Amino acid sequence: MNWYDKLNQYFPIEEMKSKEHIELLLKDKGEIYHKDEGKYHVLMYVELDDFIFIDYLFVSKNARGKGIGHELLEKLKSKGKTIILEVEPVDYEDTDTEKRQRFYKREGFKHAAAIGYRRKSLATGKVNEMEILYWSPSKESEESIYENMKKTYNEIHTYKDVELYGEKYQSASEVLTIKDAVKDSSHIAD
């Protein structure tokens, strides 16, 4: 099974980019968009100067619990940059959502509680809500996480959307929100 089929089998359709989208990112934005693939894993991530965004992290069911996910995250953490990712909220009818949240919590990721993420899927028309998690070697503000998520959304998620999907994704300001109290308090230190 190729890397895309592994991702496509594991992630809900609302979260998946098309194979053409990912291949274009690897080709056109290869300096920042990366694929780390092994027998039991696929990791797709964006690395910019000041942060890393994990687009997809898949570990085969047969290999879970063997430390592969931990090793992949440790490799990214060793770069000394904040790591951001999107994860589904816990759905008690889908035990995988709870396991994923527990895994990231064990790995030291925090929930960016002030940031909201709601995007309409071009594939299904369904509104998909995600939670933003982050790990930081320093005390990263949620305002900074929010700005980095907007940058990722604009550069990666919506890259050539009309060309690839026949329509435009919502703007970053429609999809991503941040509670005003967080924005206001971040300016006090300025």
Instruction: Inform me whether the pLDDT recorded for 181 exceeds 80.
Output: no
Instruction: Inform me whether the pLDDT recorded for 29 exceeds 90.
Output: yes
CATH code of the domain containing 38: 3.40.630.30
Determine the 3-state secondary structure of 96 from DSSP. Answer: helix
122: amino acid identity, one letter: L
What is the spatial distance between Cα 165 and Cα 122, in angstroms, rounded to a whole number?
7
Contact 117, 176 (CB under 8 A): yes
Q: What is the mean pLDDT of residues 123-138?
A: 93
Whole-number average pLDDT of the chain: 91
Q: What is the mean pLDDT of residues 26-41?
A: 97
pLDDT for position 80 = 97
Determine the 3-state secondary structure of 87 from DSSP. Answer: strand
Q: How many domains in the chain?
A: 1
Percent of the chain with pLDDT over 90: 75
Percent of the chain with pLDDT over 70: 92
Instruction: Inform me whether the pLDDT recorded for 182 exceeds 80.
Output: no
Contact 84, 134 (CB under 8 A): yes
What tokens does 117 get? 């993420």
Q: What is the mean pLDDT of residues 64-85?
A: 95
Confidence of residue 189 (pLDDT cuts 50, 70, 90): very low
pLDDT for position 188 = 41
Read off the pTM: 0.91
pLDDT tens, residue by residue, 85-122: 999 887 766 667 778 889 999 999 999 999 999 999 98
Task: Report the DSSP beta bridge partners of residue 181.
Answer: none
Q: In terms of residue numbers, what domain contains 32?
A: 3-188
What is the spatial distance between Cα 157 and Cα 172, in angstroms, rounded to a whole number?
10
pLDDT tens, residue by residue, 132-153: 999 999 989 999 999 999 999 9
CA-based torsion, 164, 170, 171, 173: positive or negative: negative
Nearest-10 Cα torsion for 7, 31, 28, 85: 40
35: amino acid identity, one letter: K
Confidence of residue 1 (pLDDT cuts 50, 70, 90): confident
Instruction: Inform me whether the pLDDT recorded for 190 exceeds 50.
Output: no
